[in-house]
Amino acid sequence: MTIRINDKIKKRLQRIALLSLAAFIVGACIALLELHAQTTRLTNGDAPVPVAGMAIESRFTLTDHTGQAVTQDTYKGQNTLIYFGFTYCPAICPTELRKISEVMDLLPTDVSKNVQPLFITVDPERDTVPVMAGYVSLFHSKMIGLTGTMDQITDTKNAFKVFARKAEDPDLSDYTMDHSSYIYFMDEHGALKGMYRIKDTAAYIARDIERIVGSMNAVP
Q: Which parts of this chain interact with Ni ion (CB under 5 A)?
A: 85, 89, 92-93
- Taking the complex as a whole, the smallest distance from the CB of residue 77 to Ni ion amounts, in Å, to 30
Give the list of residues 6+ apart from residue 51 with CB closer than 8 angstroms, or none: 192, 193, 194, 195
CB-nearer residue toward Ni ion: 97 or 213: 97
CB-nearer residue toward Ni ion: 37 or 92: 92
DSSP state of 72: G
Cβ atoms 105, 142 nearer than 8 A:
no
How far apart are the C-alpha atoms of 59 and 150, rounded to whole Å? Answer: 16
- Taking the complex as a whole, the smallest distance from the CB of residue 13 to Ni ion amounts, in Å, to 40
88 phi, psi to nearest 5 deg: -80, -5
Q: Which residue's beta carbon is nearest to the bound Ni ion?
A: 89
CB-nearer residue toward Ni ion: 89 or 107: 89
User: Which residues lie across from 166 on neighbouring strands?
Assistant: 177
Neighbours of 192 (CB within 10 A): 21
CB-nearer residue toward Ni ion: 131 or 213: 131
- Taking the complex as a whole, the smallest distance from the CB of residue 145 to Ni ion amounts, in Å, to 14
How far apart are the C-alpha atoms of 84 and 153, rounded to whole Å? Answer: 10
Cβ atoms 82, 184 nearer than 8 A:
yes
CB-nearer residue toward Ni ion: 23 or 92: 92
Residue 88 CA from chain centroid, whole number = 12
- Taking the complex as a whole, the smallest distance from the CB of residue 138 to Ni ion amounts, in Å, to 14
DSSP state of 141: T
- Taking the complex as a whole, the smallest distance from the CB of residue 181 to Ni ion amounts, in Å, to 7
CB-nearer residue toward Ni ion: 54 or 92: 92
Coil, strand, or helix at residue 201? coil
- Taking the complex as a whole, the smallest distance from the CB of residue 207 to Ni ion amounts, in Å, to 25
